[in-house]
Amino acid sequence: MKNSILFFCLLFGYPTLGQCLDPVITNFECGDSSQTLLGNGVESVANDFQSGINKSANIGEYTDDGTNGWDNLLIDFESEIDLSSNPFLSFKLYSPASIQVLAKLEGGTTIELWSDFSLENTWEEFNFDFSDAVGNGNTKLVLFFNAAQESGTSSDLYYVDDIRFTNSSNNFPIISDFESLNPSVPFYGNIQSVSNPFYNGINTSTNVGEYIDDGTNGWDNLLIDFDSEIDLSSNPYFSFKFYSSSSVQVLAKLEGGIEAEVWSDFSAENTWEEFNFDFTSSVSNGNTKLSIFFNAGQESGTLTDVYYIDDVRFSSSLSLYQESISNIMIYPNPVFDILMIRSNDIISSYKLYDMRGRLILSKNGVNVKNLDIDLTKFDADTYILRTFSGNKNEFFKVIKK
C-alpha cells in the first residue's frame, strides 16, 4: 500500500468484566461500579432504546419514588472525590417525561447543580461543572431525578448510562478520546460522541466517535482544522482506533501547506484495530489541516455509511498495539499464475480482495507454513492478500499480470 503502516491487535470476544475504574463510575459494560451505589441503587439491564448517542448493549435502570421529591441515587466514594483533573460530572439520560436532575456533592462543602429540563424518550447527555468544588472535601454524589416533584408514581423509571467524571477538553497531541467533553482541535463533519457499541478487543473505553459518511461521495471526509501549523516535530505519527462493518481503506491527508497523503491497508471487519500513519516526512511543511477519508475514492456505499473511531491523536512513536507478525514471503510478485507463500508460522487461512474491498477468494483450515495459490483465472489487476496466523494477520499487495 502507499507508505502506510498498519498494526492489528485482534482480540476477539468480550473481556472478562472486572470493576470499572475511576473516573468512570459505571458504564454498565465494565462490570462492578468503581464506587458504591446506594439509595435506590440502579440495575443493569439490556438497552432497549438503542438509538442516537447510545447504542451500547447495557444501561442502568433507576426506579424512583416519584411521590418523594428527594428520593435519590447515592454514590459514596468514602473518601474525598478527586475533581482536580476531572471536575465535570457526565451521564446519559433517557426519560419518558421532561424532568430536571439535581446533582449534589455532599460530605464537605455542599454544592448543588441543576440540569435543564430533559427531552422526552431520547438519549441526551447531561454535564455538571463542579470546577468550583475542587478541594472542598466532598465524599458523596447524590442524583435526584425529577427533583422536588411529588406528582409521579412510586415506581417512576429512568435510564442512565456512562456515569463518570471527566474534563472539559482533550489536550494536544491527543485530538479526542471522546471521554472529555470537547476535542483539543475542532472536528468538521458528521461525527458525534456515542456510547461504545462494541465494547471488546483493544477498545473498552466508555465513549467513541460515530462518523456518518456519504458513501456515494468518494471524497466525503472528516476534517480536523488546527488553524495554525501542526507541530509534528515531536509527534509525527497520526493514529486512531477504527471499527467498520466492511473492509475499507482510510486516507489521511495533510493540507494547508505541502500536502501529504498516506493510505491505510484494508481494514478488518467488525473488530477494533489501530491505524498508524507516518508523517515524519511532513515536519515543518506548514500544514494546518488533517482530512480523513473513510472508504476513500469509492462511491458504492450509502448516504449514511457508519464508522466508529476512538483515541484520535498524534504521537512520538508507533502504536502500543503493534504485533510481532511472522516473517512471510510471497513471490513472484508480479505474478502470472501461481503465487507462492512461505512463512515461519503456520498459516491458518487467507483471503484475497480486489481493490474495491470485495472478497473474491478465501480458504480456511489451511494450517501449513508453505502454500501456493493459483491466480491463473483472475484478471490482470492489483489485489490484496490477507493471511492469518493464530491471532496475527498481515496484508500484501499482489499484482497479477
pLDDT digits (tens, 9 = 90+) for 76-85: 999 999 999 9
State which amino acid sits at residue 370: N
* Pair (146, 67) in one structural domain: yes
Q: Which stretch of DSSP H or E encloses residue 387? A: strand 381-389
**Of the candidates 278, 294, 315, which is a domain's last residue?**
315
* Pair (178, 151) in one structural domain: no
Q: In the predicted model, what is the mean pLDDT of residues 139-150?
A: 98
Give the per-residue pLDDT at 330. 86
* Pair (118, 187) in one structural domain: no
Cβ neighbours of residue 247 under 8 Å, at least 6 residues apart?
A: 266, 267, 268, 269, 353, 357, 359
Average pLDDT, the chain: 90
Task: Report if residue 26 sits inside a domain.
Answer: no
Q: What's the pTM value of the predicted model, to 2 decimals?
A: 0.77
Give the per-residue pLDDT at 251. 96
Task: Report if residue 30 sits inside a domain.
Answer: no
Task: Report if residue 27 sits inside a domain.
Answer: no
φ, ψ (nearest 5 deg) of residue 314? -100, 150
DSSP 15: P
Instruction: Return the top range by mean pLDDT from 36-40, 172-176, 272-276.
Output: 172-176
Residue 3 has pLDDT above 70, yes or no: no
Residue 226 has pLDDT above 80, yes or no: yes
**Of the candidates 280, 315, 350, which is a domain's last residue?**
315
Give the per-residue pLDDT at 1. 36
Give the per-residue pLDDT at 38. 93
Residue 191 has pLDDT above 80, yes or no: yes
Task: Report if residue 294 sits inside a domain.
Answer: yes
* Pair (298, 334) in one structural domain: no
Task: Report if residue 23 sits inside a domain.
Answer: no
**Residue 92 binned pLDDT confidence (cut-offs 50, 70, 90):** very high
Cβ contact 10:273 at 8 Å: yes
**Residue 325 binned pLDDT confidence (cut-offs 50, 70, 90):** very low
Q: Read out DSSP for 97-125?
A: S---EEEEEESSS-EEEEPPPPPSSS-EE
Q: Which of 56-60, 213-217, 230-234, 329-333 has the lowest mean pLDDT?
A: 329-333
**Coil, strand, or helix at residue 173?**
coil
Q: In the predicted model, what is the mean pLDDT of residues 348-372?
A: 87
* Pair (157, 197) in one structural domain: no
φ, ψ (nearest 5 deg) of residue 271? -155, 145
* Pair (228, 174) in one structural domain: yes
Nearest 5°: the CA angle 153, 157, 162 is 150
Cβ neighbours of residue 175 under 8 Å, at least 6 residues apart?
A: 183, 184, 185, 224, 312, 313, 314
Q: Which stretch of DSSP H or E encloses residue 246? A: none
**Residue 396 binned pLDDT confidence (cut-offs 50, 70, 90):** confident
Q: What's the CATH number where 338 sits?
A: 2.60.40.3080
Cβ contact 116:167 at 8 Å: no
pLDDT digits (tens, 9 = 90+) for 123-138: 999 999 999 999 999 9
**Coil, strand, or helix at residue 197?**
coil
* Pair (100, 80) in one structural domain: yes
* Percentage above 90 pLDDT, the chain: 75
* Percentage above 70 pLDDT, the chain: 92
Residue 16 has pLDDT above 70, yes or no: no
Cβ neighbours of residue 9 under 8 Å, at least 6 residues apart?
A: 201, 202, 273, 274, 321, 323
* Pair (99, 218) in one structural domain: no
Q: What's the CATH number where 252 sits?
A: 2.60.120.260
pLDDT digits (tens, 9 = 90+) for 313-322: 999 876 545 4
CA 113 from chain centre, in angstroms, equals 30
Give the per-residue pLDDT at 11. 28
Instruction: Return the top range by mean pLDDT from 86-90, 329-333, 362-366.
Output: 86-90
* Pair (245, 366) in one structural domain: no
Place of cell 470546577: 131
Q: In the predicted model, what is the mean pLDDT of residues 302-306?
A: 97
Give the per-residue pLDDT at 82. 95
pLDDT digits (tens, 9 = 90+) for 201-221: 889 999 999 999 999 999 999
Q: Alpha-carbon distance 397 to 330, whole Å?
A: 10
Find the length of the chain: 401
Residue 351 burial (C-beta neighbours within 10 Å; 0-12, 13-18, 19+): buried
Q: In the predicted model, what is the mean pLDDT of residues 149-157?
A: 96
Task: Report if residue 230 sits inside a domain.
Answer: yes
* CA dihedral of residues 10, 242, 34, 167 (deg, nearest 10): 150
Q: In the predicted model, what is the mean pLDDT of residues 383-396?
A: 80
**How many structural domains are present in the chain?**
3
* Pair (266, 302) in one structural domain: yes
Domain that holds residue 350: 328-400
Give the per-residue pLDDT at 54. 98
Task: Report if residue 81 sits inside a domain.
Answer: yes
pLDDT digits (tens, 9 = 90+) for 231-279: 999 999 999 999 999 999 999 999 999 999 999 989 989 999 999 999 9
* Pair (162, 174) in one structural domain: no
Give the per-residue pLDDT at 137. 97
Q: In the predicted model, what is the mean pLDDT of residues 93-122?
A: 98
Cβ neighbours of residue 143 under 8 Å, at least 6 residues apart?
A: 72, 73, 74, 75, 101, 102, 103, 104
Grid coordinates standing for 333? 510478485
* Pair (56, 144) in one structural domain: yes
State which amino acid sits at residue 183: P
**Residue 393 binned pLDDT confidence (cut-offs 50, 70, 90):** confident
Residue 10 has pLDDT above 90, yes or no: no
Q: Alpha-carbon distance 380 to 385, whole Å?
A: 15
pLDDT digits (tens, 9 = 90+) for 280-297: 999 999 999 999 999 999
Q: Alpha-carbon distance 179 to 167, whole Å?
A: 8
Q: Alpha-carbon distance 210 to 244, whole Å?
A: 11
Task: Report if residue 134 sits inside a domain.
Answer: yes
**Of the candidates 315, 340, 369, which is a domain's last residue?**
315
